[in-house]
Amino acid sequence: MKNSLVLAMVLALCGLHGCAASPEVTSSADGSDRGDRELKRGIHWYQKGCTRRAMDHFFAAHEIYSISDRQAGVARSLNSLANGYRQTGDVANARLFYDAAITAARRCDDQQVIAQALSNKASVLMAEEDLAGAEVLLDEAQLLSRETGPVFAMVLNHRAVLMMKARQFDDALTLLDQADAMADGDGITAAATLRFTRGRLMAEIGNVPEAMTFFHQALELDRQAGFSRGMADDLSAMAGIHEQLGQDEAALDCLDRSIKIHALVGNRQNVLDNLDRLELLAQKTGTDVRVTVHFINQWLAGGSVDGICH
């Protein structure tokens, strides 16, 4: 989840120079500016966790880029849309839009966008345990990303996750070290993603104190960035560590906070997947969570006072 945000933000920050129209065509330039603004608005909502509202802006950006024939923007908007579909659990459309983004980026030889979309699609394949397929995509993404900057750092992050799934933990740690060096100074969200992955790695190899340290660092960075979904993931991971250590009170606290964030941004499935876990921890600790459940139900029904995603 975290990786998608970082790569979506790269879309807005990278210059839309590939396949640019001649400078005399002012309407095309205006279209590029308008498309950029819509893309950035989408990333703003995506970062807050409001994926459906973000998608509206990503679609608007795609239409503007298309009407003004800005093919680099078309590719980037397709990649952002694919990220959005993935976040909503629509894996079939995510695959379809990643492929479309790759095709569009290849047509105008925008190698950074090709690398981004290949890396994003690889994460989908890893979630489906198609490790061989993911490795093929990451090989090309690593070659195209020119071994510099935030795109290369996220490619290395995905490859580290791949090595973790293959139980090659030393290789994963080496890749994360390289990614940290590449991402240095490239933004809070990239740093948060790398800390989160490093926390997962430490948990996998049984280094629980280090895992918790990295999850705490990721949480603080996600707070600074205002990345709600990242905060929810960090807190859920921390809850898992506390559960592993038999620290049920701390686990309940972290899970309660995580589920509330997911409810506020309308991530119903994640809430439903974790309610039984919340109730079990409540029983173990003798804690009454009826107030939390009240707010969760209210927020999932669209009843947040602030109207966070509206």
What's the confidence (pLDDT) of residue 8? 46
Percent of the chain with pLDDT over 90: 67
Separation between Cα atoms, residue 269 and residue 85, nearest integer Å: 14
Q: What's the rounded mean pLDDT across residues 43-63? A: 91
Q: What is the pLDDT of residues 188-222, one digit of tens each?
A: 888 999 999 999 999 999 999 999 999 999 999 99
Task: Say if residue 21's pLDDT is above 60.
Answer: no
Count of other CB atoms within 10 angstroms of residue 301: 10
Q: What's the rounded mean pLDDT across residues 164-188? A: 87
Q: What is the pLDDT of residues 289-301, one digit of tens each?
A: 999 999 999 888 8
Task: Say if residue 148's pLDDT is above 60.
Answer: no
C-alpha gyration radius of the chain: 20
The whole-model pTM stands at: 0.83
Q: What is the pLDDT of residues 238-260, one digit of tens each?
A: 999 999 999 999 999 999 999 99
- Mean pLDDT, the chain, as a whole number? 86
Cα 233 to its chain centre, rounded Å, is 10
What's the confidence (pLDDT) of residue 172? 96
Q: Which residues lie below 8 Å from residue 240, measured CB to CB, with a gap of 6+? A: 203, 251
Whole-angstrom CA distances from 289 to 237, 253, 255, 279 are 20, 11, 11, 8
Domains in the chain: ranges and CATH: 31-108 (1.25.40.10), 110-186 (1.25.40.10), 219-301 (no CATH)
Q: What is the pLDDT of residues 106-129, one digit of tens each?
A: 999 999 899 999 999 999 999 999
What's the confidence (pLDDT) of residue 25? 32
Task: Say if residue 149's pLDDT is above 80.
Answer: no
Percent of the chain with pLDDT over 70: 86
What's the confidence (pLDDT) of residue 11? 42
Residue with tokens 């795109």: 151
| Residue 76 or 303, more confident | 76
What's the confidence (pLDDT) of residue 296? 92
Q: What's the rounded mean pLDDT across residues 48-60? A: 91
Residue with tokens 């980026």: 105
